[in-house]
Amino acid sequence: VKTLEARLKPLMIAGLEGEASAWREFLKLLRPALHAFFNRRQFYSGADVEDLVQDALLAIHAKRETWRRADLVTSWCFTIARYKLIDHLRKSGRAKLVPLVDDFVLLNDGVEDGAVRQDLDKLLATAPPRSGRSREARRDERRGGQGQSSSRHEELDETGVRP
Amino acid sequence: VNTDDLIEALSGDVRRIPAGRAAQRVACCTLVGLAAAAAVVWLTLGFRPDLTAVLDEAGFLMRQGYVLSVAGFSALLLLRLGQPGAPLRLPLLGLGATLVMILIAVLFEQSALTGPAQAEAWFGQSWRSCTLNVAAISLAASPFLLFAARRLAPGRPTLAGFAAGLVAGAVAASAYGLYCPEGTASFLAAWYTLGILAAGAIGAAAGRYLLRW
């Protein structure tokens, strides 16, 4: 399965070349992803998600010359979407509820797969193999086994399995 | 509006956008701002009479090198701030390196001087008016920079306004340098830098309101 990034990038480039059909395809692909993005970040405001999607589509269309070929299309799009969301929350007086640190990018469910997944894969590849095993040990623990027994089983010391 | 209709309408409105158009606009507006600032200096203060004679003097060249380097890297910073997801490393490193260079020049200059000559290098004849003049002249350049910034997509409008103000301040400093008789690194590092920062503060205040999109 191609990631959203891999599908969007050629369409973006063709759209910048002036191909209307590619740009239509681009916006259509982006629409459900934006919908999921805003839906997940409503902060109980009951905002009209479809309005936000339209706002973001308009901005993405109007500002497409600010995309650099060196950057990810998905992170460009979702940075604009996030700006539109914050703008909306500020206008409705709820800006104070936007977390200062945008930690919800880690709740990746495939929408922003380009940027976030790449970073995560890179980070996980550098993690020592032990932490991978201890994660399994922790899962054993959750299934009912004792921490000590699973550490013996995995040949790790006790500190190695502490979360 | 129905979202399907919106997508139809938007995809009916595509023209070819050449790569690098945003960068070209920022560069173009920076040059226009420089020309506007130089015109204001020429019309109000006038260029220094010995301008052609000092064009190859070290003090003059150092000043133009410093403020034009600040202008260039600030313009790049403005561009990158207006391109969602673009890295800021290069312009920030450039601005940092420019500052380090001027500080080294100040250290060399001050260590070679003693007593009242040191204060003379810091304050020159015109320190009272320099900062204020640079900040005032920047107002002739900043509309062009804010225009360029408005076409970008800055996620942090205040910061982008600050960068636009720095560009306006730096080109204003370059233009004011055609009038200003001072030639020491210490004077440049203190009062020109302060004027550029003041222009940046004006830009930040303007950007907060003007650069929302």
Burial A39-51 (b: 16+ CB within 10 A, else e): eebeeeeebebee
- Specify the pLDDT at position A151: 46
Contact status, residue A28 vs residue B7, Cβ threshold 8 Å? yes
The fraction of chain A above a pLDDT of 70, given in percent, is 60
Give the pLDDT score at B24: 96
Q: Does A43 touch chain B (CB under 8 A)?
A: no
Chains A, B: CB pairs < 8 Å: 83
Residue B57: the pLDDT is 86
Task: Please write down the HEC assignment for all residues of A94-126.
Answer: CHHHCCCCCHHHHCCCCCCHHHHHHHHHHHHHH
* Confidence grade of residue B50 (pLDDT, cut at 50, 70, 90): confident
Q: Is residue A84 within 8 Å of A52, Cβ to Cβ?
A: yes
What's the gap in Å between the CA of B158 and the closest CA on chain A?
13
Look at residue A71 and tell me whether its pLDDT is greater than 60. yes
Q: Do A71 and B85 touch (CB under 8 A)?
A: yes
Q: Which residue has the tokens 């979202």?
A: B3
Mean pLDDT is highest, among A12-21, A151-160, B50-59, for A12-21
Per mean pLDDT, which range of B17-21, B71-75, B156-160, B195-199 is the poorest?
Answer: B17-21
* Alpha helical stretches, state H, chain B: 3-11, 21-44, 51-54, 58-81, 89-112, 116-123, 127-151, 157-176, 185-187, 193-210
Chain B residues touching A24 at Cβ < 8 A: 7-8, 11
Which among B165, B172, B180 has a CA at the least distance from the CA of B129? Answer: B180
Chain A residues lying within 8 Å of B12, measured CB to CB: 20
Could you tell me which residue, A143 or B204, shows the higher pLDDT?
B204
Q: What is the pLDDT of residue A150?
A: 47
Q: How far B84 CA sits from the closest chain A CA (Å)?
A: 5
* Furthest-apart CA atoms within chain B: distance in Å: 76
B21 CB neighbours in chain A (<8 A) are 65
* CA distances for A75 relative to A54, B83, B136, B152, angstroms: 18, 11, 39, 16
Ranges of H-type helices in A17-154? 20-40, 49-62, 73-91, 113-126, 129-142, 147-154
Decide if pLDDT at A147 tops 50: no
What is residue A48's predicted lDDT score, i.e. its pLDDT?
A: 79
pTM of the model: 0.79
Please check the confidence at residue B90 and state whether its pLDDT lies above 50. Answer: yes
Mean pLDDT along residues A129-153: 55
Please give the average per-residue pLDDT across A95-122, as a whole number. Answer: 59
Those residues whose C-beta lies under 8 Å from the C-beta of residue A50, and which sit 6 or more positions away, are A35, B3
Interval A76-99: pLDDT, tens: 999 999 999 888 888 877 555 555
Please name which of A131, A135, A129, A137 lies closest in space to residue A154, comparing C-alpha atoms.
A137
Which stretches of chain B sit within 8 Å of chain A by CB?
1, 3, 6-8, 10-17, 19, 21-22, 82-86, 151-153, 155, 212-213
What pLDDT, on a 0 to 100 scale, did the predictor assign at position A49? 86
Residue A19 CB neighbours (<10 A): 17
Q: Does A68 touch chain B (CB under 8 A)?
A: yes
Cβ–Cβ < 8 Å for A64, A15: yes
Residue A80: closest CA among chain B residues belongs to which residue?
Answer: B84
Tokens of A106: 């880690």
- Burial, B94: exposed, middle or buried (Cβ in 10 Å; 0-12, 13-18, 19+)? middle
Residue A43 has pLDDT above 90, yes or no: no
For residue A124, what pLDDT band results from cuts at 50, 70 and 90?
A: confident
Are A65 and B17 a contacting pair at CB < 8 A? yes
Q: Tell me, what's the pLDDT at A156?
A: 53
Q: Do B153 and A66 touch (CB under 8 A)?
A: yes
Residue A69 CB-density burial (10 A; 0-12 exposed, 13-18 middle, 19+ buried): exposed
Judged by CB atoms closer than 8 Å, whether chains meet at A68 and B12 is answered as no
What phi, psi does B46 have (nearest 5°)? Answer: 85, 150
Average pLDDT, chain B: 94
Specify the pLDDT at position B51.
Answer: 86
Residue written as token pair 């302060």: B194
Task: Pick the residue of B4, B5, B6, B7 with the most A CBs within 10 A to test the interface with A by mutation.
Answer: B7
